[in-house]
Homo-oligomer: A and B are copies of this chain.
């Protein structure tokens, strides 16, 4: 929602001077497909050269030019001024929308190897998310297995606009592999589901499309809980990035109430959905759906019913802070701030 000129990174607030900061959502971008060439088999290099493929990104977000493709800029603009202890790199891509499943797997492998080689190997503060071909959950699970011993990867990354609700059983091999290797599952604001971006059809404007991402996240949370993913995989943690969180209290109330009446339909959901959400779902803080009255935001954070749900993120370089104060609301208790800035990320990512 910003133009490049708005994206000057604010520094830390003085009140956090001594606090550890973990940045749970830093976006990195493949600047051009050539950077992936060293990580692709010759077959796929030829395939892409012949078909003129130039990008794997959606190109739908404004970014700070060059910034998210350059490790030096990332250090200078983000990690050093913020004294970030750890930063989780997420490479949002449209790989899960590629029709050719073999190519999708090759691209996911290339992105992951590029991330490990060009980023994670060069700075001990960096952690990464594993990109997988969601079209084929079996291949996705194999890719997770391949990288599971790489200590730099802490998360598996899925698009919120998936082909189907992410709780569906077809996706369970991904959750099984993630849980086995103590990886979180991150869900990012992207993807192409094949369905309209709202449940009542295609909207006219990008404004509507962007606002409606929150609805896709709501649907995925409801699906993951209703299908019993967290009953089957009790140690799984899901992190929603770029999702906002102000919609969550109302969703938990609605979900709990209707679960009381319809629980016979989902007998594996053996306690109120809000409790399951609080145990398993985490949300990053940027971009913040910030009300004019900051007290309302503090109330909403308290309504979440747990200090363990929110995790600090800059969403760099999609920098959408309106001001220093927009980083986190004022009025939070200091121990809650510390949990948001680092503690919850340590627990979730086992840093």
**Which residues of A does B touch, CB under 8 Å?**
1-2, 160-168, 193-208, 210-212, 214-216, 218-220, 222-223, 226-227, 244, 246-247, 249-255, 257-263, 265-266, 287, 289-291, 296, 299-300, 303
Contact = CB atoms under 8 A, between A and B. Distances in A.
B2 A261 contact: yes
Given A207-B266, A222-B208, A253 B289 contact: yes
B291 A258 contact: no
Given A215-B219, A262-B1, A289-B254, A168 B303 contact: no
A161 B195 CA distance: 15
Contacts of A287: 257
A241 to B, nearest CB: 15
Q: Tell me the number of copies of this protein.
A: 2
A59 to B, nearest CB: 16
B211 A201 contact: no
A196 B199 contact: yes
Nearest to A246: B250
B206 A265 contact: yes
Nearest to A214: B254
Contacts of A262: 1, 205-207, 210
A210 B258 contact: yes
A244 to B, nearest CB: 6
A210 B204 CA distance: 26
A193 B219 CA distance: 17
Contacts of A289: 250, 253-254, 257
Contact of A193 (B167, B201, B255): B201
A302 to B, nearest CB: 8
Q: Which of A163, A199, A227, A291 has the most CB of B within 10 A?
A: A199
A1 B255 CA distance: 12
A299 B298 CA distance: 11
Contacts of A263: 207
Contact of A205 (B198, B265, B290): B265
A244 B251 CA distance: 10
Contact of A201 (B195, B218, B244, B247): B195
Contacts of A255: 211
A216 B244 contact: no
Contacts of A252: 291
B207 A212 contact: no
A202 B200 CA distance: 13
A208 B257 contact: no
A164 B291 contact: no
A164 B261 CA distance: 30
6 contacts: A163-B201, A208-B219, A211-B258, A252-B291, A253-B296, A254-B289
Contacts of A244: 250, 254
